[in-house]
């Protein structure tokens, strides 16, 4: 019997997280594959955060560093603000340019004039 594609995808994503390519990854997994998803995280030395997604489905987040789990828990599945989208973009390993493009497509980007004058900080 061949392995379900979602578990192969999670295995690939977990390998990327374990190697530091990105801070975290997430896959939607049917309940029947949840234990195997946890074993994948364990095999790669990662933490797994599981959240309900829909009837019979879970979101499985894998990450290496505990503070990333905290970020995931605080931002949740439904980011609403530009800041929350930026944070999750960083957690998934996206570049500033990719995140900015995504925010523009959503129509929730921050206007620079709303921020006020930007002045460089001086070191102490």
The pLDDT tens digits of the residues spanning 55-103 come to 999 999 999 999 999 988 888 667 888 888 888 899 989 998 898 888 8
**Fold for the domain defined by 1-66:** Ribosomal Protein S8; Chain: A, domain 1 (3.30.1370)
pLDDT of 123 higher than 60: no
Distance from the Cα of residue 46 to its chain's centroid: 14
Task: Average the pLDDT over 27-50 and give the result.
Answer: 97
The ranges of the chain annotated as CATH 3.30.1370.50 are 1-66
Question: CA–CA distance from 84 to each of 28, 61, 75, 77 (Å)?
Answer: 20, 17, 6, 10
Q: What is the pTM of this model?
A: 0.80
pLDDT in tens, 94-119: 998 898 888 888 887 665 445 455 55
């Amino acid at each position: 019997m061949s392995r379900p594609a979602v578990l192969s995808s999670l295995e690939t994503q977990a390998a990327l997280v374990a190697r530091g390519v990105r801070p975290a990854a997430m896959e939607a997994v049917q309940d029947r594959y949840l234990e195997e998803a946890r074993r994948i995280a364990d095999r790669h030395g990662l933490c797994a955060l599981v959240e309900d997604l829909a009837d019979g489905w879970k979101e499985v987040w894998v990450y290496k560093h505990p503070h990333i789990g905290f970020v995931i828990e605080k931002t949740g599945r439904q980011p609403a603000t530009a800041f929350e989208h930026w944070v999750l973009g960083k957690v998934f390993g996206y570049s500033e340019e990719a995140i900015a493009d995504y925010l523009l497509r959503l129509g929730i980007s921050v206007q620079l004039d709303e921020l006020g004058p930007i002045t460089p900080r001086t070191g102490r």
